[in-house]
């Protein structure tokens, strides 16, 4: 049975939501958001670097499942895998920030899904992971 992945998806959003939009350092929306929060771009990046540790800890339920099976769905990916993977794919598209260490079992799981369906997800526009 797949673990409750809602905390992990929320953690993905929190870990990446502070990243400024790609190639938009001067846009009015970014300036307004930073002014409203009272932070500068350096503070945003520092918070992201700290927040990712909490995100990584939130993935423990995924790691526990992946210790005993290849995918959240068992021997093959299913809906649970694709839903969780969607958050990682979104993060890969919007930010070059590396959410996972290469030694993380979740990294290996994500690699399998990036290569699924003849690498369709990996071939889509995005940053290297």
Q: Using one digit for the tens of pLDDT, what is the confidence trace for 29-57? A: 777 777 887 877 777 777 787 889 999 99
- Which residue reads 């889509």 in tokens? 124
Q: Is residue 35 part of a domain?
A: no
Residue 67 domain-assigned (yes or no): yes
CB 127 within 8 A of CB 84: no
Contacts of 47 by beta carbon, 8 Å cutoff, 6+ apart: 18, 39
Q: Give 71's strand partners.
A: 74
User: pLDDT, tens digit, for every residue of 82-107?
Assistant: 999 999 999 999 889 999 999 999 99
What CATH number corresponds to the domain at position 105?
1.20.1050.10
The domain in which residue 68 lies consists of 6-16+52-123
Within a domain: residue 23? Answer: no
**Domain-embedded: residue 37:** no
Tell me whether residue 79 is in a domain: yes
Domain membership of residue 1 (yes or no) is no
Number of domain units in the chain? 1
Whether the model pTM is above 0.75: no
Domain membership flag for residue 34:
no
Reduced to 3 states (helix: H, G, I; strand: E, B; else coil), residue 71 is strand
């Amino acid at each position: 049975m797949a673990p409750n992945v809602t905390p992990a998806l929320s953690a993905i959003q929190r870990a990446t939501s502070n990243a400024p939009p790609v190639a938009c350092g001067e846009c009015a929306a970014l300036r307004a958001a930073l002014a409203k929060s009272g932070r500068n771009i350096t503070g945003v990046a520092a918070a992201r670097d700290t927040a990712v540790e909490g995100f990584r800890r939130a993935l423990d339920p995924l790691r526990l499942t992946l210790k005993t099976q290849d995918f959240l769905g068992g021997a093959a990916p299913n809906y649970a895998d694709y839903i969780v993977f969607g958050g990682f794919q979104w993060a890969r598209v919007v930010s070059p920030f590396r959410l996972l260490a290469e030694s993380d079992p979740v990294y290996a799981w994500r690699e399998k899904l990036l290569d699924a369906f003849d690498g369709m997800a990996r071939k889509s526009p995005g940053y290297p992971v």
